[in-house]
A and B are shown apart, each in its own frame.
Chain A
Amino acid sequence: MPQVIEVCPLNELKPGDVRLVEWEDLEIGVFNCAGTVYAIEDRCSHDNGPLVEGELNQENCTVECPRHGSLFDLKTGQPKTLPAYVPVDVFPVIIEDEKIKLEVE
């Protein structure tokens, strides 16, 4: 059953900002990439690296895993470089009443 959770007011996550959200046993990274908000699972599919601690590239909307350098596309969750080759989960982002909300299940 999909469920909608509230993250924070939109003006609290400025372009370039990152925030970690926990829901049940899931950790989700919420990224504001040049004005668009994306949410991906905060766990590199290669070696469980914490992606919210990685470097966000706002030009290409990618984040680099701090552990071994795999680059993930925030829109699709697909790795753009090895060593990761399995995509990470992405979560639909809803902006409602100037608030950031995520659809999780």
Chain B
Amino acid sequence: MASPDTTTTQAPVLTENEALRGINADYEERYGFHDAENYLYKAPKGLNREIVEKISEFKSEPQWMRDFRLKALDHFLARPQPTWGSPLLAEVDYNDIHYFVRASEKAGRSWDDVPEDVKRTFDRLGIPEAERKFLAGVGAQYESEVVYHQVREDLEKQGVIFMDMDSGLREHEDLVREYFATVIPPNDNKLAALNSAVWSGGSFVYVPEGVHVEMPLQAYFRINTENMGQFERTLIIAEPGSYVHYVEGCTAPTYTSSSLHSAVVELIAQPGARIRYTTVQNWSTNVFNLVTKRAVAHEDATVEWVDCNLGCLTADAKVFTIDRGPVSIAEIREGDIVYGTDLQTMKPAPRRVNATRDNGIQPTFRVTTANFRQLEATGNHPFLVLDKAHGGDAYTVRWRRLENVEVGDYVAVSKGLGDTGSARFLGDYRYGALKGGRAKPIELPLETTEELMWLLGAYLGDGYIECVDGRARRVNFAVPPTDPARPRLERALTTLFGVRGVQKGPVSLAVASSILGDFIMWLGFGGTAHEKRIPGWVWGLPIAQKLAFIEGYLDSDGCERKQQVKDGVEYGQIVWSSANRALLEDLKLLLIDCGLEPRKISTHSFTKKLPLGVEAKTYTNYFLAMNLRGNLDVIKRRVAPPRPVVQFVKVTNIEELPAQPTYDIEVDGIENFTANGIVVHNSHLTMKYPSVYLLGERAHGEILSIAFAGKGQHQDAGGKIIHAAPNTTSNIFAKSISKDGGRGSYRGLLEIAKGAHGARSKVVCDALLLDEHSRSDTYPTIRIGEDDVNVGHEATVSKVGDDQLFYLMSHGIPEDEASKLIVNGFIEPITKELPMEYAVEMNRLIELQMEGSIG
């Protein structure tokens, strides 16, 4: 959570913004709201025995469940964090999470009993509508407990149990005790242990022998409290010959920071039973979604997982700001373009801000690097560091929390941000200040040029505007006739504006033009010496114009201290001094932006005694210095700036600061952004591999999954099927779509155990890449222990190619439509397996994801 500090913005692509506007409108409206937090009980952050006991006590659980939780806690604490999968896993901070939040006293049975604010949340999620659609039952999880639950009467009559897990434990303790944690024991993995210790809510479904539940059972999940873990526990038991379809849909408000969602789902299909479990997940980008889902299928039973993982429909831009220059992170808005680092190429890349967060008042640290970059951030903010792995000499690049960064470590800083700017159009300036049109007309440039920027730099250093009656009357430059910059200044005034100055006093060149003064103020250079700043649009210019601006400032107000000349190379320093510290900080960032290497800003104070000896006044001046060598050449000759690169620089100081307001932003595609020239991170990850154990003869398992990895997301999904009995069959169809730099991974395991004669399986994984920056990986594992089996594996990776698009467009289909058609065709085999309303929602989500993907 970087502190309210500066981040660089850059001129964006307008068309993309317009396209993205559509995405945002809908998501904000539908899911991006959150209610003021209003809870009966909220456990403090972190996890220990006391909290686990408290949870159990709150729920008045039987002793065996309490013991089960405590034992699971020991397993959780004893196990290391998994090291496989995504490196983002290392960022989960288990101590920064609320493990239990209780929203209201009891589960409401009828809609009228549900508290008003909870109802509003559900209204917006459309749950009452879903109910009206004669769905079999609606269970809605609000925070950790189900507050509203209803099962249709006819199902109850058939003996079907569909309730929240807490009630299931209370009312059907024997059933729960028999099956709970038999599919996923608490010690199965670290996250299963965590869930076992702190589980709350989730669904309990029991379908008696021979009963077919024709309508899908449905539950919605939402995370509403910031930093709140959601640990629901679902257990579905289908007795012999029964059938049930359970649907789980997830949304989360966009503002949640690093929420951890870690569910455990256990399915038990007794002989001849069939369970279908459908998930449509649409977490916002900052949710860690680490879920364990496992099913067993006995003789002739069938289990199907239909799993759709969509991510990152975050609040996209409403307002697109161009040319804002370095803006405090507190003022960064969605849609701003900031710089991040492409970790593949280690080069800076412009990225769009997806969401901003106010993280409240927190203790912070100030990091200073050897090249005088400074950044204030909270202890858990990740920085990109060079790490000497395993005590060897080889360095690897990894993210590390600031609290674990030490003086002497190397952190990534960006060195220049590339030349992507363009000249600013000035033709829309109109002089309208003066009554009667008496102002002398002057020539006005239509767009920025190097010469104009040099002049403005000189004005910034030594210029001021004289006002008469509140309007500009005269522009003065305190550049004496002997100054080497004087002829250039006079020339620039003539060429650009067609005006001449007159000597005023011994020092100043004065231009009597109201319009020139007004124009300079319109450009954002108004104000007194203490108020002047570098306006944001300057950052959007081409580097040559920015360097001309820096040169103008250097020529008028800077000073070159040449200390020695050796072998024809001048050594020394360039120094700017000013009483206006903010202005020097602007300048420092502009220098960094141009690939230059400024040093720190130093302070000099002195007290001046006035003649009578009674009054004393203290003056403070600030200095910004930069080495002459390597920098002056760039400024004077506008030589090509060094290629933008990320470099690693030693941390020289880390200082604890008092608590202060903190903010964070999320950016597209590359999960990091550059703050004050230091590379930092944001994150979000899904890891999910539903599995089926085919334990009985002729059992069948099916996994259909879609993962849509958008901006800044890593969707690591897949499936696992174990054939442990003869003549079992299975299919895995995994489809991943990656877009805008997203990364989709398929990780699968197919195992045919010894003794599973005649097993047949087919694994198909297809990946569709929508652009050059996205990525897809496949990690299939197949283990076969018998000879007489039939296993097929196919994998394809396709790109939406120009020729496909061209073909469709040649049939009169517009480009964006054509692109959607290709994607819809790609996922159609899976959407057709979804219940109608989910298929509709899925198509809509895909459509939203697709908007703006081309162009």
Contact = CB atoms under 8 A, between A and B. Distances in A.
Contact of B189 (A68, A70, A80): A68
Interface in B565-618: none
A11 to B, nearest CB: 31
B753 A86 contact: yes
B185 A85 contact: no
B296 interface: yes
Interface string A64-97: 1111111100000000111101100000000000
Interface stretch (B15-23, B166-174, B176-184, B370-378): B176-184
A69 B185 contact: yes
Nearest to B72: A69
B185 A71 contact: yes
Contacts of B333: none
Interface string A44-67: 000000000000000000001111
B185 A82 contact: yes
B187 A85 contact: no
B187 A82 contact: no
A67 B753 CA distance: 20
Nearest to A82: B183
A57 to B, nearest CB: 12
B722 A68 contact: no
Contacts, number: 40
Contact of A83 (B186, B188, B753, B754): B188
B297 to A, nearest CB: 11
- Range class of the A interface residue count: 10 to 19
Given A68-B187, A69-B187, A85 B722 contact: yes
Nearest to A71: B185
B724 A86 contact: yes
A30 B217 CA distance: 47
Contacts of B549: none
B188 A85 contact: no
Contact of A82 (B75, B294, B753, B754): B294
Interface of B, helix, strand, loop or mixed by DSSP: loop
B472 interface: no
A85 B181 contact: no
Contacts of B693: 82, 85
B695 interface: yes
Nearest to B755: A86
Contact of A81 (B75, B185, B722): B185
Interface residues of B, number: 18
A47 to B, nearest CB: 11
A80 B185 CA distance: 10
Contacts of A83: 185, 188
B724 A81 contact: no
Contacts of B296: 82
A85 B695 contact: yes
Contacts of A67: 187
B855 to A, nearest CB: 48
B189 A81 contact: no
Contacts of A80: 182
Contacts of B186: 69
A68 B753 contact: no
A19 to B, nearest CB: 23
Contacts of B185: 64, 68-71, 81-83
Nearest to B196: A69
A69 B722 CA distance: 18
B182 A81 contact: yes
Contacts of A82: 182-185, 188, 294, 296, 693
Contacts of A86: 724, 753-754
Contacts of A71: 182, 185
A68 B294 CA distance: 14
B73 to A, nearest CB: 14
A83 B720 CA distance: 12
Contacts of B188: 68-69, 82-83
B700 to A, nearest CB: 16
A15 B693 CA distance: 35
A82 B182 CA distance: 6
B691 to A, nearest CB: 9
A3 B189 CA distance: 39
B623 to A, nearest CB: 63
A65 B187 CA distance: 9
A80 B722 CA distance: 16
A100 to B, nearest CB: 29
Interface in B334-381: none
30 contacts: A65-B187, A66-B187, A68-B187, A68-B188, A68-B189, A69-B75, A69-B186, A69-B187, A69-B188, A70-B185, A71-B182, A71-B185, A81-B181, A81-B182, A81-B183, A82-B182, A82-B183, A82-B185, A82-B188, A82-B693, A83-B185, A83-B188, A85-B693, A85-B695, A85-B722, A85-B724, A85-B753, A86-B724, A86-B753, A86-B754
Given A70-B185, A71-B182, 12 more contacts: A68-B187, A69-B187, A81-B181, A81-B183, A81-B185, A82-B183, A82-B185, A82-B296, A85-B693, A85-B722, A85-B753, A86-B754
Question: What are the 9 A-B residue pairs with the smallest beta carbon separation, nearest first?
Answer: A69-B185, A69-B187, A81-B182, A85-B724, A81-B185, A68-B188, A82-B183, A69-B188, A85-B693
